[in-house]
């Protein structure tokens, strides 16, 4: 993009090379932080409105037009609140945990190709990186639960560990199924492949199965209902963040929504052609890629919200049965099916 | 092979559930049950069975239907109703007759159990649908239900 080039040149003319690149990195980090905060806040609002609509209510519509400033007000309230903690908590880990969670989420968000140019970090092991980062996030939750010195928090954190270890397999394998078509882990190349039809079309039946498994496992990864055993309000108080208050609680809350955004973004990138418009209708205007990317992501986020407000919470044994008895064998079968399809050239390409 | 039929039935039941909530989502604009309360204060009407407070309806001649039989006072489990009555000379027949002076109702003690209204043989008291019952001083919660100067509606005692 032109603007970024101008800023880049200006920075490098102003300072020595190392300083300039560090400043540039900092600038990009600040921009992503801003996107992160705004996206998180508005996802919270969206969740509340959508939840209300699913339950025949109206939802928050008082602060600002249609409640647009509601979450800003909530954030302000949370900032002004006292940070409480338990006496026997492990202070260092207790304070570290929220940042751990939020940094992991932020790192994952940096590699998405919002448009052809708007991608902060085009790493060649993109999908692998994403899977790795999303499983590191659980360490923050474990830290939070363990260091709070609270039995509810500990149980919640342990459940989170079980859940993430189980469902990580399904997320990884379903993405691997799609990598069979693309032949690359780099996100920009995956998008390049999809110029001949989105992967869900190219891979048809196995791709759809992989997508379904990915969405189920992804919902479990983000600890959202029906897989919210980690927080399970009715049994564990608030789960791993029972002892957190004020802004530290807000970090966990925001990270949860950003994780939802990340899961939906991965699905958009892998299955639905990232920033590519349907049938290439706006290919001449590359900037509209952001719009298409966000639109697809929002549809998938809506799907996850739909899950949340429809299905009751699973029991822990049901959770494990679903993963180990159903999703994983199906996923392996699906992987073989996809491999055969790619081998026999049965994919659909335009 | 119950394995695959289990998966099929599971997915089917999940989709059924999602279609139900999906319909709710689409109809939420029209069918929302939320009342935007202070805004629609003028038009908001409580439903028929709502128990706001006990009132005694009076007709246009300032006549009520309470004979002062005190059945409501006896029926009330926590003494919210007090009836002050005396024997006065009925102007029509010239005989002495039991008449209410004040029908006192303590809203602050009332649990809205509706036993008084069921006990009333002449339907003199009933539920009102108002719900803005908060006041700044609890003495306001003690209410005299019969209006000053009101009298018994003719024909109720027959």
Tell me, yes or no, whether A263 and A178 share the same domain. Answer: yes
Domain total of chain A: 2
Q: Which chain A residues are within 8 Å of B39, Cβ to Cβ?
A: none
Position A349 in a domain: no
pLDDT score of A131: 86
Report the C-alpha gap between A63 and A50 in whole angstroms: 17
Position A18 in a domain: yes
**A318 at the B interface (CB within 8 A)?**
no
Tell me, yes or no, whether A128 and A261 share the same domain. Answer: yes
What pLDDT, in 10s, does the model give residues B59-88? 888 888 888 888 999 999 999 999 998 888
Tell me, yes or no, whether A137 and A67 share the same domain. Answer: no
Which residue, of A80, A99, A122, is where some domain finishes?
A: A80
Tell me, yes or no, whether A74 and A91 share the same domain. Answer: no
Mean pLDDT by 10 residues, chain A (350 residues): 71 78 83 84 88 85 84 87 83 86 84 78 84 84 86 87 86 88 85 82 85 90 82 79 84 86 89 80 76 88 90 86 89 91 81
Nearest CB partner across the interface for B21, out of A57, A309, A326: A309
> Chain A to chain B, count of Cβ pairs less than 8 Å apart?
40
pLDDT score of A14: 77
Nearest CB partner across the interface for B21, out of A52, A54, A58: A54
Residues of the domain holding A75: 1-80
Tell me, yes or no, whether A54 and A118 share the same domain. Answer: no
Residues 6+ apart with CB under 8 A from A278: A292
Phi, psi of B58 (to 5 degrees): -115, 145
Report the C-alpha gap between A241 and B66 in whole angstroms: 61
Position A88 in a domain: yes
**B139 at the A interface (CB within 8 A)?**
no
pLDDT score of B31: 67
Q: Are A275 and A191 in contact (CB under 8 A)?
A: yes
Report the C-alpha gap between A81 and A91 in whole angstroms: 19
Q: Are A230 and A239 in contact (CB under 8 A)?
A: yes
Tell me, yes or no, whether A32 and A162 share the same domain. Answer: no
Which residue, of A80, A106, A125, is where some domain finishes?
A: A80
Report the C-alpha gap between B116 and B127 in whole angstroms: 10
Residue bearing tokens 């491999």 = A339
pLDDT score of A85: 78
pTM of the model: 0.82
Tell me, yes or no, whether A44 and A96 share the same domain. Answer: no
Q: Are A177 and A190 in contact (CB under 8 A)?
A: no
**Residue B16 pLDDT level (bands cut at 50, 70, 90):** very high
Which residue, of A50, A80, A110, is where some domain finishes?
A: A80
Fill in the DSSP letter of residue A327.
I
pLDDT score of A156: 86
Reading the block at residue A302, the tokens are: 């809506």
**A54 at the B interface (CB within 8 A)?**
yes
Nearest CB partner across the interface for B18, out of A56, A57, A310: A310
Report the C-alpha gap between B75 and B52 in whole angstroms: 19
Q: Are A320 and A166 in contact (CB under 8 A)?
A: yes
| Residue A43 CB neighbours (<10 A) | 21
Tell me, yes or no, whether A98 and A71 share the same domain. Answer: no
**B15 at the A interface (CB within 8 A)?**
no
Report the C-alpha gap between A216 and A186 in whole angstroms: 24
Report the C-alpha gap between B131 and A342 in whole angstroms: 69
A153-178: b (≥16 Cβ within 10 Å) or e:
bbbbbbbbbebbebbbbbbbbbbbbb
ipTM over 0.85? The verdict is no
């Amino acid at each position: 993009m032109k603007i970024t080039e101008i800023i880049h040149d200006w920075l490098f003319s102003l300072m020595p090379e190392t300083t300039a690149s560090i400043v540039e990195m900092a600038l990009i980090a600040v921009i992503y932080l801003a996107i992160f905060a705004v996206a998180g806040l508005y996802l919270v609002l969206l969740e509340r409105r959508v939840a209300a609509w699913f339950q025949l209510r109206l939802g928050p519509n008082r602060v600002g037009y249609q409640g647009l400033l509601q979450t800003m007000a909530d954030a302000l309230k949370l900032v002004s609140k006292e940070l409480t903690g338990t006496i026997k908590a492990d202070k260092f880990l207790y304070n570290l945990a929220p940042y751990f969670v939020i940094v992991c989420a932020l790192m994952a968000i940096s590699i998405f190709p919002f448009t052809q140019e708007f991608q902060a970090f085009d790493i060649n092991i993109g999908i692998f990186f994403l899977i790795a980062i999303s499983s590191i996030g659980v360490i923050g939750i474990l830290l939070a639960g363990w260091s709070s010195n609270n039995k509810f928090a500990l149980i919640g954190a342990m459940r989170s560990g079980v859940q993430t270890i189980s469902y990580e397999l399904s997320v990884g394998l379903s993405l691997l199924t799609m990598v069979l078509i693309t032949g690359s882990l780099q996100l920009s190349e995956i998008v390049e492949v999809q110029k001949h039809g989105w992967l869900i079309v190219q891979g048809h039946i196995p791709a759809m199965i992989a997508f379904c498994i990915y969405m189920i496992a992804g919902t479990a990864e983000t600890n959202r209902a029906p897989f919210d055993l980690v927080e399970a309000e009715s049994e564990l108080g608030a789960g791993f963040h029972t002892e957190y208050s004020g802004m530290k609680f807000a970090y966990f809350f925001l990270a949860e929504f950003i994780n939802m955004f990340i899961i939906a973004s991965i699905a958009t990138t892998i299955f639905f052609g990232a920033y590519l418009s349907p049938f290439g209708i706006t290919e001449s205007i590359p900037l509209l890629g952001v719009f298409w990317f966000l639109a697809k992501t929002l549809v998938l986020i809506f799907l996850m919200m739909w899950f949340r407000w429809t299905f009751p919470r699973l029991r822990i044994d049901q959770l494990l049965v679903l993963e180990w008895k159903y999703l994983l064998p199906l996923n392996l079968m699906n992987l073989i099916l996809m491999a055969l399809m790619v081998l026999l050239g049965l994919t659909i390409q335009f | 092979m119950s394995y695959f039929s289990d998966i099929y039935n599971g997915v089917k039941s999940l989709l059924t559930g999602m279609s139900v909530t999906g319909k709710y989502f689409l109809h939420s604009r029209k069918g929302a049950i939320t009342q935007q309360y202070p805004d629609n204060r003028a038009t908001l009407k409580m439903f028929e069975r709502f128990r706001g407070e006990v009132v005694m309806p009076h007709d246009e001649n300032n006549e009520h239907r309470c004979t002062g039989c005190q059945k409501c006072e006896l029926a009330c489990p926590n003494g919210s109703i007090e009836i002050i009555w005396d024997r006065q000379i009925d102007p029509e027949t010239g005989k002495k007759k039991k008449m209410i002076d004040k029908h006192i109702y303590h809203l602050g003690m009332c649990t809205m159990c509706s036993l008084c209204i069921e006990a009333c043989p002449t339907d003199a008291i009933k539920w009102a649908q108002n719900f803005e019952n908060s006041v700044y001083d609890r003495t306001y919660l003690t209410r005299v239900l019969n209006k000053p100067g009101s009298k018994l509606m003719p024909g109720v005692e027959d």
